[in-house]
Amino acid sequence: MIDGTRLPLIGEETSLRADAVRNRTKLLEAAARLAAERGAAAITMELVAAAAGVGKGTVSRRFGDRNGLLLALLDHAEQQFQQAYFAGPPPLGPGADAVARLRAFGPALLRHERAHLDLYLAAEPPPDRRFTVPADRVRHTHVVALVRAVLPDADADLLAHTLLSSVDTVLVDHLVRTRGMSLERIEAGWHDLVDRLVTRG
């Protein structure tokens, strides 16, 4: 929550009919079972439809495409993460100063996405939709608010993008798997970026 307004969550919808809610829940439960059994990368609209006992068109109407379905699966985990940085204990949540919260955010994001890596990689949107995912916009807005509190005269919007790019899911997976970097090293890199920004400011 920023300035008293709760920001939208992934897959958040309003005014769904009762039957639509039931169908959505049924489809997500089927998709979650498939993800647990076969891995998120193996999920297809056809498999989910078959597992839920509905037609593929029902899945398409509910989620649009495979990426929309995978993003909906991430909804619960993302809500928990958002709860942690909007209302959880400090230093990630309110109660700490902006510098402490900014330093805590990168490592918390890293750990969150590593815990759900298979799903995040499978749900990675195409380039033209990369920066329109609701959860990413919420994270960016949060980091902008923290940067602005620390550096009121800086280009907080651009700096937030720069900071978040250093803990991008695909980049971090490459650094860990291909370059052999530890999460601790990547977390230290986030702290270094934040500390340099604060010192420069």
Measure the CA–CA gap between 132 and 138, rounded to whole angstroms: 10
SS3 34: helix
SS3 41: helix
Residue 152 has pLDDT above 90, yes or no: yes
- Condensed to tens digits (0 to 9), the pLDDT of residues 10-21 reads 444 444 577 777
In 3-state terms the chain splits into helix, strand, coil percentages (rounded to 5) of 70, 0, 25
Which stretch of DSSP H or E encloses residue 37?
Answer: helix 18-38
Q: With cut-offs at 50, 70 and 90, classify the pLDDT of residue 168.
A: very high
- Condensed to tens digits (0 to 9), the pLDDT of residues 92-142 reads 999 999 999 999 999 999 999 998 888 888 878 888 888 888 889 999 999
Q: Are 181 and 175 in contact (CB under 8 A)?
A: yes
Measure the CA–CA gap between 71 and 153, rounded to whole angstroms: 35
- Condensed to tens digits (0 to 9), the pLDDT of residues 41-87 reads 888 999 999 999 988 898 998 999 988 888 888 887 788 899 999 99
Record the tokens describing residue 151, joined without a space.
């550096």
User: Which residue type occupies 181?
Assistant: M
- Smallest CA-to-CA distance from 121 within 190, 81, 67 is with 67
Q: With cut-offs at 50, 70 and 90, classify the pLDDT of residue 201.
A: low
Average pLDDT, the chain: 87
User: Which residue type occupies 192?
Assistant: D
